[in-house]
Amino acid sequence: MSPARTPPSPAVNGHERHIKSLDGLRGVSALLVLFHHVLLTQPDFGRFEWNSAHTRAHGLFEWLMFDTPFRILWAGQDRAILFFVLSGFVLSLPWLHGRPRTYGRFLLNRFCRLYPPYLIVMLIAAIGVILIGGRHIPGASVWFNQLGWSRPLSWRAVPSAVFLLNNGSSNWLDESVWSLIWEARVVVIFPFLIWVITRWKNPGIAVILLGLASLHPLIMLLLPHHIAAALRDTGTAMLYPEYFILGVAVALNQNTVRSWLSRGWGIAGLGTLTLGLTMFWIQWPEQNGRADGIAAMLILASALGSPVLDHALRAKFLLFLGRLSYSLYLIHVPIILAIIILFHGKVPLLACLAAPMLCIGVAELFRRHVEAPSASLALGFAKPAAPAGAALYPATREVVPE
């Protein structure tokens, strides 16, 4: 057996460039989220999403999607967690490379990058509800009637949407933005978390993860019962920063990840990918959210360390979807909800097949005319406020599109 070879550093002539395999991974995740919501137009898939234990598959396709590992092809929640881990990886790079941003500059960059496209899509969704939605459709998927345009628009939706509250007044306008809301919340504390990690590195990561995992039980133990009951969702809330920190852990240790997972002609990397996908598929009776976070971390690590997976993720279509991912993420749900209304709740197979291409086409227009100008504005706030210091890992100074 020949000695294992570590993939060459992506740094070229001292300049930084994108980690293309992660662009492709982002594209795969965006495509699977799209498939998730297209399939939720079908009543059986909606029932399975709400109550899998009491939903029987009808036909071979539903059996494959419900009861076999093929279920991970449309498990939207898992893809959202992978996006959180990817975000943690990307956002940590300036700090890990000795180019920290000031707190205000960091928040302003994220605001300009994410908020204007989000607000425009929420306005589009509100117009869609006013013009064609606002009513329950008998026979439509439970997804549409519970989390879609099945109710009249209220003025209470305005503060909920504008201030990223995502409460019952607005969360049904575009159901997918729940993950963006959580990212916006984590971003507020992210510089404080990464400050700990840049000073104490892996021990700092361990302390943060332990602290986040312990906070909810401590709250339940120490606070009076009526107050603790009002804060019962804090356990779920603590999971989202954990996902980001798992991504930071991969970024901090990426040289080691590349070295280990490229061994044996990349078999270690493919094994790590298989383990991550298996963990996504299994529905753990306890700590399922944390298991999904670890699965996402393993998949991210395999994309960095496996030469085979790295090559596959560099396919042009996947890189295109990676560049398009934020616009596609924002715009696809309003399009799919409009299709459900157009077909009076009974979306035929042909429409399901055409919906992904329609969403991708509209998302590309949105990217060019809305997201790209917003991203250009954000770039003005992306430069570090202080002279660059010594990078923790100068051999792998890379940047992924945020």
Residues 6+ apart with CB under 8 A from 362: 331, 335
Is the pLDDT confidence value at 127 over 90?
Answer: yes
Distance CA 104, CA 36 (A): 36
Q: Is residue 11 part of a domain?
A: no
Determine contact, residues 30/367, Cβ cutoff 8 Å. Answer: no
Q: Which domain holds residue 235?
A: 20-68+76-394
**Is 58 exposed, middle or buried, given 0-12, 13-18 or 19+ CB atoms closer than 10 A?**
exposed
- Is there a domain that residue 324 lies in? yes
Continuous segment of H or E residues that includes residue 122: helix 103-132
pLDDT at residue 42, rounded to an integer: 95
306-340 pLDDT, tens digit per residue, is 999 999 999 999 999 999 999 999 999 999 999 99
Longest dimension (CA), the chain: 68
Amino acid of residue 192: F
For CA atoms 313, 319, 321, 326, the dihedral sign is: positive
pTM for this predicted structure: 0.89
What's the pLDDT at 166? Answer: 85
Q: What pLDDT does residue 219 have?
A: 73
Mean pLDDT of 169-192: 94
The predicted structure's pLDDT at residue 398: 35
347 — pLDDT class (breaks 50, 70, 90):
very high
Beta bridge partners of 12: 15
* Structural domain contains residue 121: yes
User: How far apart, in whole angstroms, are the C-alpha atoms of residue 10 and residue 378?
Assistant: 25
**Three-state secondary structure call for residue 132:** helix
Q: Is the separation of the CB atoms in 92 and 357 below 8 Å?
A: no
Which residue's entry shows tokens 């209220």? 154
Is the pLDDT score of 289 beyond 80? yes
Between 347 and 390, residue with greater pLDDT: 347
Q: Determine contact, residues 300/85, Cβ cutoff 8 Å.
A: yes
Domain assignment present for residue 191? The answer is: yes
Residue 103 lies in a domain: yes
Residue 399 placed within a domain: no
Distance CA(293)–CA(33), nearest Å, equals 17
Residues contacting residue 377 through CB under 8 Å, at least 6 positions apart? 112, 116
Residue 330 domain flag? yes
Sequence-distant (6+) residues with CB within 8 A of 277 are: 69, 72, 295, 299
**How much is the pLDDT for 68?**
92
Is position 131 within any domain?
A: yes
pLDDT attached to residue 153: 95
3-state helix/strand/coil string of 77-119: HHHHHHHHHHHHHHHHHHHHCCCCCCHHHHHHHHHHHHHHHHH
pLDDT of residue 249: 98
DSSP code at position 268: H
Digit-coded pLDDT (tens) for 205-261: 999 999 998 887 777 777 676 665 655 566 677 889 999 999 999 999 999 999 999
Structure tokens at 16: 């930084």
Task: Sort 306 into a burial class: Cβ within 10 Å, 0-12 / 13-18 / 19+.
Answer: buried
201 in Cβ contact with 252 (< 8 Å): yes
Q: How many folded domains does the chain comprise? A: 1
Q: Is the pLDDT of residue 392 over 50?
A: no
